[in-house]
Chains A and B, each alone.
Chain A
Amino acid sequence: MSGVKISGDKKMELKNKHVFWEALILAIFIFASGIFLGYLIELNRTSQIITIYQQSELDLLDAKIQNDILNIGNINCELAKQEAIDFANKVYENSQLLERYEGASKITEGMVLQHKKYDLLRTLLWSSSIKIKDKCDDNLNTIVYFYEYDPQVIETKSKQAVFSKKLLEVKNQLPENILLIPLAGNLDINSIDYLKKVYNVTVLPTILINENIRVENMDQLKYLENMFSN
């Protein structure tokens, strides 16, 4: 008779008796390693943001001290304005990276905390810019953009994407005269909630121009450039 001798059924059963558990343990091990690796990647991104944030914090502090020094005599409006705009631009660039990392963050919550810290930093910048405008009567324009953090409604998400693009367009047209400050309006930050009340911001997204004009819909957004050309 031909054929190679096959291992007996009993032998086969014994050999494969624990295969389900072995596969489960291996799968859990590999999967957990993957999750851990993902956690490390997200942690690394968070630490990158923390480092950038610390630098921004230093920059703001530096700008404030410079202002304070200048305030001993008369405020140097041109320098203060430039400092504010440069700082806002830098924070804006950082926030772009933060936003991308936030979008990719799936297992850790560290990015939300960083976002809140950045929002506070920007709020500080805003209040500082109000003071500069009070003292200098300059042509510095502030655009505060209140948006919804992590919107679940598609319409809000799309609307915010268009608002962001439009604001960037306007900012690029007048880079030296516009201070662009995006703030998440739904992160339960007391100072931002307070400012929202003060300036009557009730819907998100809302653009607040020079602390008195509110843009809440598409029709108004169309004419955003005109508001600065006058």
Chain B
Amino acid sequence: MEILPFVYLAYMFVSFYLLILILLLYFKNKKVLFNAPEFKKFYSISVLIPAYNEERTIADTIKAVSEIDYPQNKIEIIAINDGSKDSTIKVLKNIKNKYKNLKIFDKPNSGKADSLNQALKMCNGELVVVLDADSYPSKNCFKNMIGFFDNPEVGAATATCTPRNRNTFLEKLQVIEYKVIAFTRKLLEFIDSIYVVPGTAGMYRKKALLEIGGFDKRNITEDIEATWHLAKDGWKIRMCLAAHVNTEVPNTLKPWYRQRRRWSLGGLQCINKYKSFIFKNGMFGYFIIPFFSIGLVLGLMGIAIALYIIARRGMSSFLLTRYSLETGVPLVTLNNFYLTPSILNYFGIILFALFFIFTLFVLAVMKDRLLEKQSFFNLLFYMAIYLLIYPFVLITSMWHYVRGKNIWR
């Protein structure tokens, strides 16, 4: 008996299991999926907006925060210019007088995590919102999230992030991706397993952030690290699908690749940092770390199997061509066109079909108007090509990680 079919079946089983887990969570909780928690009071909120070379977008971000449906006297906006080389600081100074609650914190470049930590010391809100300088919260965003913090166990909450720019092919693919991520993240909330409060828009209890010592400067995805740290210490993380934040997403492959590599690298750093907590500290050790690690192993295993098969087929085709030319036999005969699928082929097709239906289902549940606009080709490309690029990103990330290149760019 060959080993490969069993490895393949194990791979399929884990994928089936995770899909069923997500679907079960959905059916058990679908009535409350889009609910926003009732809140007892308007918390004072400090909105921290770290900016490095964001002259193009920061003014709109601050404008979006100022237009939020929330008592403006309860909001403090701190725009942090992290030593930008463009005219970010100039833009900020120009708009300063328009917003009474806007504070500008101009500092030499020291990275996002350090900028946030410094700003954390000077902010006054009970809650801290970390907002990327190219993200735009919806009007009801804060109101829909603050109710979570009535529960003193909640340390952080996040919202539905969706791409603002939706024109190019790559952007449209990211719309599908962000919707699927938001949907699954919300479902993971029901088992206390949200593994990231994305830097795009995260609301934190200031006390919780201070308790964990702020953001880890050594981790290039400070948002993942902070979420893991909070979860490890027993803080609950929540998500509101009814709160929206639009964000700029990469519109060309190069920045897209860099962003994904950074995410993967940050994930690897987190696994390494918290590996000793596996099967400890509740859902953090029993689900978040294994879930992340299994994702990593599945990705690597998938690519290893695929490369092995491709290499064997390639070598076989090469030799077959060479021998055929040497002996003058035809390269292709009718027999080559007979297809007799094996059980593994059937499993693969069924799994692909299930994930395809799942993606369609998610887009429908998320009431995405783009569902009509998204062509069948986009969805197919997303499933068959886009998702397959991830394991390659993972490999390059691992390579960078091993070489110690844990840098932003």
Contacts and interface: CB of A to CB of B under 8 A. Distances in A.
A127 interface: no
A74 interface: no
Interface in A202-230: 218, 221-222
Contact of B335 (A16, A96, A105): A96
Interface string B173-208: 000000000000000001110000000000000000
A158 B316 contact: yes
Interface residues of A, number: 50
A23 to B, nearest CB: 4
A101 B339 CA distance: 10
What does DSSP make chain B's interface, helix, strand, loop or mixed? helix
Given A5-B38, A27-B13, A154-B316, A35 B143 contact: no
A218 B328 CA distance: 10
B343 interface: yes
Contacts of A24: 17
Interface stretch (A6-14, A82-90, A173-181): A6-14
What does DSSP make chain A's interface, helix, strand, loop or mixed? helix
B108 interface: no
A157 to B, nearest CB: 6
Contacts of A34: 343, 346-347, 350
B153 to A, nearest CB: 7
Nearest to B2: A106
A97 to B, nearest CB: 9
A35 B323 CA distance: 38
A4 interface: yes
Contact of B316 (A5, A23, A106, A157): A157
Interface stretch (B18-26, B51-59, B87-95, B360-368): B18-26
Contacts, number: 133
A70 interface: no
A35 B343 CA distance: 8
Interface string B324-350: 101111100101001011111111001
A113 B335 CA distance: 23
Given A19-B24, A103-B342, A9 B329 contact: no
Interface residues of B, number: 52
Interface stretch (A59-67, A137-145, A162-170, A186-194): A162-170
A42 interface: yes
Contacts of A72: none
Interface string A119-162: 00000000000000000000000000000000000110111011
Contact of B25 (A19, A106, A159): A19
B385 interface: no
Given A6-B147, A104-B342, A154-B319, A162 B329 contact: yes
A31 B346 CA distance: 12
Given A159-B323, A162-B320, A16 B340 contact: no
A203 to B, nearest CB: 16
Interface stretch (B29-37, B78-86, B98-106): B29-37
Interface of A: 1-7, 9, 12-13, 15-16, 19-20, 22-24, 26-27, 30-31, 34-35, 37-39, 41-42, 96, 100-101, 103-107, 154-155, 157-159, 161-162, 165-166, 168-169, 218, 221-222
User: What 5 pairs across the A-B complex have the smallest Cβ distances?
Assistant: A38-B343, A158-B319, A104-B342, A23-B21, A162-B323
